[in-house]
């Protein structure tokens, strides 16, 4: 979408450029009521549950929203921090760190970074309204999902489009689709893992556990599964590790449909039974630690591996706001900001450029 002239350079005064850093979303509190509100919004999204609404609504409201909130709230309580849900805390820190790094890297430009949650607060609408209120008319939407899936990245796009439909002044918008094979992201993963190996040592097997998706989405053309495998292959290469010592698994199964395989927890149990004693798990598809990594992997996954006879288990944290993680987000943002982040021209430079254009026109 584009208006002309580019509003970022109007009147010789640079308007700020906006970045909306979007992650999935999380409840406001680790209580059944708050989790119910969050799940109701999340699981009503047709991008997330692709079952005809007439069939799905009675299941969602009659069963899932009655049973799951209390169970999930108990899990959230085990990872909740004094500042709130880990996913939101990390997303806020990432947004602040990205803004600071952009200010250092591009002293002539002002780039504002707002955190947003696709479900819950602060919403995509609130984040975009804030950027507009601050004067940003060029906005980059950066979903914090390295691998594209319709359920996550696609849904973030829907939220931005719905906001645009309700807006009189739609800004220039750019949207990051994925960065699963970006060298800066792969390098960040490898650096983070190697740093942790310096104290933990290398495992027998490194399990890369990605969030699952219904298998049907792969058959329908969603690139998510392939992008997870490509990330894992590039990571093995960056680590200089034999491919067979690095496993790709899918976690967080939801519902009755067949999900992508192999599943993480059964794989951890099988590795223990096969005699692999030292296993580590890393979750490259999550840019920030959250319930799915801190509870499902670091707690449940560990318990399953040790109960099956494994000896040592380490969960390797996500990139979060680490130096290497922020360098990767900065690199991804910069690729998409090109042309917007140019330090604005002075009046003299603008006049010289106008004269050159006139001279060119006269020569033709
Ligand atoms: C990173 C990518 C993610 C994909 C792909 C994804 C797909 C997906 N998820 C569900 C159902 C649930 N996911 C839940 C939590 C959750 N999911 C992601 C990321 C992806 N989901 C994150 C970052 C989180 C953590 C949120 C947090 O607050 O920390 C939950 C809620 C928790 C629970 O009750 O178990 C559900 C439910 C589906 C159905 C799906 C693909 C179709
Ligand atoms: Fe999920
Ligand atoms: Fe889970």
Q: ipTM score of the complex?
A: 0.96
Residue 243, pLDDT score: 83
In tens, the pLDDT along 193-206 reads 999 999 999 999 99
Ligand 1 atom having least distance to the Cα of 292: 25
Q: What is the pTM of this model?
A: 0.91
Domains and CATH numbers, the chain: 7-179+322-337 (3.40.50.1400), 183-316 (3.40.50.1400)
Q: Which helix (H) or strand (E) holds 175?
A: strand 172-175
d(CA 209, CA 106): 36
Residue 58, pLDDT score: 98
Residue 359, pLDDT score: 73
Ligand 1 atom having least distance to the Cα of 69: 34
Query: Cα separations (Å) of 249 from 99, 230, 232, 252, 281?
Result: 34, 13, 10, 10, 10
CA 196 to centroid of chain Cα atoms: 22
Mean pLDDT computed over every residue of the chain = 92
Is residue 343 predicted with pLDDT exceeding 60?
no
In tens, the pLDDT along 213-235 reads 999 999 999 999 999 999 999 99
> Ligand 2 center to residue 189 CA distance, Å?
21
In tens, the pLDDT along 31-71 reads 999 999 999 999 999 999 999 999 999 999 999 999 999 99
Ligand 1 atom having least distance to the Cα of 217: 42
Ligand positioned closest to the Cα atom of 250:
1
Q: How confident is the model at residue 361 (pLDDT cuts 50, 70, 90)?
A: low
> Ligand 3 center to residue 253 CA distance, Å?
7
In tens, the pLDDT along 90-128 reads 999 999 999 999 999 888 889 999 999 999 999 999 999
Residue 196's nearest CA partner among 315, 86, 289 is 315
> Ligand 1 center to residue 324 CA distance, Å?
25
> Ligand 3 center to residue 151 CA distance, Å?
16
Sheet strands side by side (includes 172-175)? 111-119, 17-25, 138-143, 172-175
d(CA 241, CA 306): 25
Tell which one of 292, 294, 295, 317 to mutate to probe ligand 1, the residue whose CB is within 8 A of the most ligand atoms.
Answer: 292
């Amino acid at each position: 979408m584009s208006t002309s002239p580019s509003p970022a350079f109007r009147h010789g005064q640079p308007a700020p450029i906006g970045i909306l850093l979007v992650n999935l979303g999380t409840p406001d509190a680790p209580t059944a009521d708050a989790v119910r509100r969050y799940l109701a919004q999340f699981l009503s999204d047709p991008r997330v549950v692709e079952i005809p609404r007439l069939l799905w609504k009675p299941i969602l409201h009659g069963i899932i929203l009655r049973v799951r909130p209390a169970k999930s709230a108990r899990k959230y309580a085990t990872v909740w921090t004094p500042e709130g849900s880990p996913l939101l805390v990390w997303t806020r820190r990432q947004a602040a760190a990205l803004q600071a790094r952009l200010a250092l890297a591009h002293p002539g430009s002002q780039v504002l970074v707002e955190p947003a949650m696709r479900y819950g607060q602060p919403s995509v609408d609130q984040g975009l309204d804030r950027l507009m209120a601050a004067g940003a008319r060029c906005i980059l939407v950066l979903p914090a999902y390295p691998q594209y899936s319709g359920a996550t990245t696609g849904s973030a796009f829907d939220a931005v489009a719905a906001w645009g439909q309700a807006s009189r002044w739609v800004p220039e918008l750019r949207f990051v689709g994925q960065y699963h094979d970006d060298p800066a992201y792969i390098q960040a993963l490898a650096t983070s893992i190697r740093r942790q190996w310096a104290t933990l040592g290398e495992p027998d097997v490194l399990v890369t556990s990605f969030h699952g998706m219904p298998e049907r989405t792969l058959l329908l053309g969603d690139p998510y599964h392939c992008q997870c495998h490509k990330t894992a292959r590039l990571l093995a290469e960056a680590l200089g590790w034999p491919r067979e010592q690095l496993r790709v698994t899918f976690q967080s199964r939801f519902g009755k449909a067949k999900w992508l395989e192999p599943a993480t927890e059964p794989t951890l149990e099988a590795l223990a039974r096969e005699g692999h004693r030292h296993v580590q798990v890393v979750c490259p598809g999550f840019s920030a630690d959250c319930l799915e990594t801190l509870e499902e992997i670091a707690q449940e996954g560990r318990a399953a591996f040790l109960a099956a006879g494994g000896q040592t288990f380490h969960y390797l944290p996500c990139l979060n706001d680490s130096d290497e993680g922020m360098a990767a987000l900065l690199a991804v943002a910069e690729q998409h900001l090109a042309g917007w982040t140019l330090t604005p021209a002075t009046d003299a430079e603008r006049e010289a450029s106008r004269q050159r254009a006139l001279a060119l026109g006269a020569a033709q």
